[in-house]
């Protein structure tokens, strides 16, 4: 049985709904790192040291970010934030009824030619923000009733964000942290986030490196992404919801279906079913539209067809995956 359909909303991410198997799991126990522990302080020091000759993301470009240099991801030492708000367009267990406390980071280590947020991710739109101010923003979002704090494209600022999360937790912020990532992450960096991040909302963009190279300018996406997903699952397990259907902990994989089979969906699904677990929650997204440089690409200059999306949903089912969300076409 394929994932259930739900109607699209207007702008932004379309509405999705869970399959019955994913409904209403009991609350999960806390496995968080004590924010005032010696280990927490040591992890922040270790992560900040990775900024000296930057090795925060798998590009390992060696940029001297603490000396004022800007990396391939457009990030320097200071955090840069494009926007923050209560967002109701994520998957239901993330947005819930009150919204997700979303913080959009500026810059990205990928260069997807179809990026829908390219002014932020590739042209650096946003404003500088201290770690102290980020703590205030998190506390403000929590005070506004956010179900979680949702860092969008956080990878290149992982050290500073980790510091901010621990400071906010020391001030009593208890809601889950969502790491909303392209999935191009170093396992070494993820291990420092163990016990700090509660929910990994992670892309699996490609099943084939040739496509990742062509469309996101990344030579090794598939192996790096698969290792990262395995580490995320090791840390937080399958997606767990509270009695109100709000995610508390776990892994939710996002897969944006691209026209012309570019995303290699069947390979992605087989990996998840065979190498992680068939219970992995997957959001299979149909919302692709040509943006940025995709308007000039022979394969990506059009939207997905209904047949293409139906084929991918059949591949989801054929892979043996059990839990997921899809979008109406």
Q: Does 300 bind ligand SF4 (CB under 6 A)?
A: no
Coil/strand/helix, residue 75? coil
Minimum gap (Å) between residue 292 Cβ and ligand SF4: 19
Interface with ligand SF4, residue 71, by CB under 6 A: yes
Nearest alpha carbon to residue 202 among 175, 169, 235, 164: 235
Tokens 């109607």 map to which residue? 7
Q: Which stretch binds ligand SF4 (CB under 6 A): 54-62, 160-168, 236-244, 295-303?
A: 54-62
Asked if residue 56 binds ligand SF4 (CB under 6 A), the reply is yes
How far apart are the C-alpha atoms of 121 and 299, rounded to whole Å?
Answer: 22
259 touching ligand SF4, by CB under 6 A? no
User: Cβ of residue 118: shortest distance to ligand SF4, in angstroms?
Assistant: 16
Does residue 156 interact with ligand SF4 by CB under 6 A? yes
Total residues at the site for ligand SF4 (CB under 6 A)?
15
Instruction: Give kind and range of the element (H or E) at residue 228.
Output: helix 221-236
**Does residue 60 bind ligand SF4 (CB under 6 A)?**
yes
User: CB of 299 within 8 A of CB of 260?
Assistant: yes
Q: Report the residue number whose CB is nearest to ligand SF4.
A: 71
**Residue 122 binding ligand SF4, by CB under 6 A:** no
72 binding ligand SF4? (CB under 6 A): yes
Out of 22, 44, 47, 54, the only residue in the binding site for ligand SF4 (CB under 6 A) is 54
Taking CB under 6 A as the criterion, the residue among 18, 22, 63, 159 binding ligand SF4 is 63
C-alpha–C-alpha distance, residues 50 and 45, integer Å:
9
Q: Residue 269: in which H helix or E strand, if any?
A: helix 265-271
CA nearest 65: which of 44, 45, 48, 89? 48
Shortest spacing between CB 71 and ligand SF4, in angstroms: 2
Binding of ligand SF4 at residue 108 (CB under 6 A)? Answer: no
Question: 306, exposed or middle or buried, with CB in 10 Å at 0-12, 13-18, 19+?
Answer: exposed
Among 73, 82, 173, 294, binds ligand SF4 (CB under 6 A): 73
11 CB contacts (<8 Å, ≥6 apart)?
A: none
The smaller minimum CB distance to ligand SF4, of residues 153 and 286, is found at: 153
C-alpha to C-alpha distance for 43 and 45, rounded to whole angstroms: 5
CA distance 98 to 147: 7
Chain residues binding ligand SF4 by CB under 6 A are 54-57, 59-61, 63, 65, 71-73, 75, 109, 156
């Amino acid at each position: 049985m394929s994932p259930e359909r739900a109607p699209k909303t207007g702008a932004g991410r379309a509405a999705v709904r869970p399959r019955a198997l994913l409904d209403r799991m009991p609350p999960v126990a806390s496995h968080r790192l004590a924010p005032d522990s010696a280990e927490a302080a040591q992890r922040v020091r270790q992560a900040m040291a990775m900024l000296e000759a930057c090795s925060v993301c798998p590009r390992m470009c060696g940029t001297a970010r603490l000396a004022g240099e800007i990396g391939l991801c457009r990030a320097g030492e200071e955090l840069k934030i494009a926007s923050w708000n209560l967002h109701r367009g994520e998957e239901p267990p993330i947005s819930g009824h009150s919204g997700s406390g979303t913080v959009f980071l500026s810059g990205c280590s990928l260069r997807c030619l179809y990026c829908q947020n390219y002014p932020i991710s590739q042209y650096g739109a946003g404003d500088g923000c201290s770690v102290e101010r980020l703590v205030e923003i998190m506390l403000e979002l929590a005070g506004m009733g956010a179900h979680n704090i949702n860092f969008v494209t956080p990878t290149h600022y992982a050290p500073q964000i980790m510091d901010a999360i621990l400071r906010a937790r020391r001030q009593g912020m208890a809601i889950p942290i969502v790491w909303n990532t392209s999935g191009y992450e170093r396992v070494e960096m993820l291990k420092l986030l163990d016990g700090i991040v509660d929910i990994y909302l992670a892309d699996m963009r490609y099943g084939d490196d040739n496509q990742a190279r062509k469309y996101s300018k990344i030579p090794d996406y598939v192996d790096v992404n698969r290792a990262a997903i395995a580490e995320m699952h090791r840390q937080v397990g399958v997606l767990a919801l509270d009695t109100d259907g709000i995610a508390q902990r776990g892994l939710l994989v996002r897969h944006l279906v691209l026209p012309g089979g570019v995303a290699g969906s069947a390979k992605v699904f087989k990996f998840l079913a065979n190498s992680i677990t068939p219970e992995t929650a997957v959001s299979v997204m149909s919302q692709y539209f040509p943006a940025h440089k995709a308007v000039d690409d022979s394969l990506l200059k059009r939207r997905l067809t209904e047949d293409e999306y139906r084929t991918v949903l059949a591949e989801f089912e054929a892979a043996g995956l059990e839990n997921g969300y899809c979008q109406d076409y």
